[in-house]
Amino acid sequence: MFSWSLAARNLKRRRLRTALTVSGIVVGISMMFILLSLVSGMEAQARSMVRFLGGADITVSNSTLFRDRMGGGGFFGLPSPSTLDESIIEVISKLPGVYAISPQFSFSGSINGRRITVYGVTPSSYEIVTGGLNIVEGSFLSDNSNGEIVLGKALVNLLNITRGDTVNLSTGQGGKERIFKVIGIFETGMIFQEYAGYITLADAQNITGEHGLVTQILVKCEDPSIVSNVANIIQSTVPGVRVTTPTTAIQQATQMLNTLTMFFATIGLVALFAGSFGVINTMIMSVTERTREIGILKAIGAKSRDIMKMFLAESLLIGLIGGGVGVAVGGILAYIFPILTPGLFTISSSPFGMRNPSVGGRVMLNIRLATPAITPTNIILCFSLGALVGVLAGLYPAWRASRMKPVEALRHV
């Protein structure tokens, strides 16, 4: 307690020098805090974008990939995908890390004699998990759609179909046939993907007779970085399923965020390192000015460790004050900086998967990447760094003061 009171008194005695020394820590900590807050905001924004635009993170299917169904009437004569019981959906939705889930039933069908792939989906959950289709004309399905279909642009051009027409959809080779109304046309930019149609899951199950079954379960995770963990949990929890993930895209997003974090953290550490020299200089000056005081303290019984504690307490106080003020200043500047540079961290994007019929089927987004996120982790980290820099910068001056001989210190003028 004596060391702390003595350290505080000495800092008050040299207020201007203390303020200048603290300012060096404040600059480093505030810069570190600004950069970490911006990175955290960019990370949260990127996760939200990936979650909304990036499609399904995980696709769950039957471990037995294919089976003969309806007389082997699969796409190009191949066996049809194996199915899963719908009860699995509820099990997967309750697993940790799962943000949203959407069932899908895909099968090979025929429209006006043209073989296509048909996807039965639940429209509301499908749009959450995948971002939806890029509708260029009409609209997508709704949950209460019945007898409605959305077709690819290449397919409607080939068959000379327009929105509002009706088409005959059959499962082929003596399977069921049903009339559907075309309510929308989608485009992907890749023609082979446009030879497909989307109907509701209920319609798909009715026309195939596979009630209560799905072929795939699409899963969106809360965080792109935990996709592998969630996939492993699904694999171990649900028997007989096959789990696939778009690992490349996820790894690239995570790697980009990690690179940004390291880059900005390095800049902050360099500024903080420069500020530590101010603390070292101040503490050495303090030791030199108080040489006689150190001699008197040692002469009346103070031990070397007491002297060292006194000066370390002083440097620690500088670090704590600098850390606290730096966090406060950084928190304010973290919100001001993006406002002063609005174009620096904003991009315009027309991502695949977003749909807006009024803009040629595509949505132009102004995405603000630099919305800061002030987290308790960043606050504790920066405050602790300030204290750590204070202690490390005061080690040598404190050690030097503790090594002084009482007689030599008392002779100092």
What pLDDT was estimated at residue 67?
55
pLDDT at res. 352 = 35
Report residues of the chain scoring pLDDT below 70.
1-3, 45-54, 65-81, 172-175, 247-254, 257, 341-370, 406-413
In sequence order, which residues have a C-beta less than 8 Å from that of residue 130 and are 6 or more positions away?
55, 56, 102, 218, 353
Measured distance CA(137)–CA(410) in Å, rounded: 92
Q: What is the pLDDT of residue 264?
A: 73
Angle, to 10 degrees, between the axis of helix 291-299 and the axis of helix 304-340? 140
Nearest to 320 by CA among 16, 1, 4, 40: 4
| pLDDT tens per residue across span 355-408 | 333 333 333 444 455 577 888 888 998 888 888 888 888 888 888 777 777 666
Handedness of CA 255, 257, 258, 262 (dihedral sign): positive
Distance CA 127, CA 102 (A): 9
- Helix, strand or coil, per DSSP, at residue 187: coil
Q: Which residues pair with 118 in a beta bridge?
A: 107, 197
Pairing relationship of beta strands 66-67 and 241-244 according to DSSP bridges: unpaired
How far, in Å, CA of 194 to CA of 122, rounded?
A: 19
141: amino acid identity, one letter: L
Sequence-ordered strand ranges (E) for 77-233: 80-81, 84-85, 98-111, 114-121, 135-138, 148-152, 166-170, 177-186, 196-200, 213-214, 216-221
For residue 252, the surrounding DSSP H or E stretch is helix 247-289
**pLDDT at site 250:** 57
Q: Which tokens in the block code for residue 1?
A: 């307690």
Q: What is the pLDDT of residue 248?
A: 54
The two beta strands, 213-214 and 346-349, are unpaired
Name the one residue in this structure whose structure tokens are 């989906």: 121
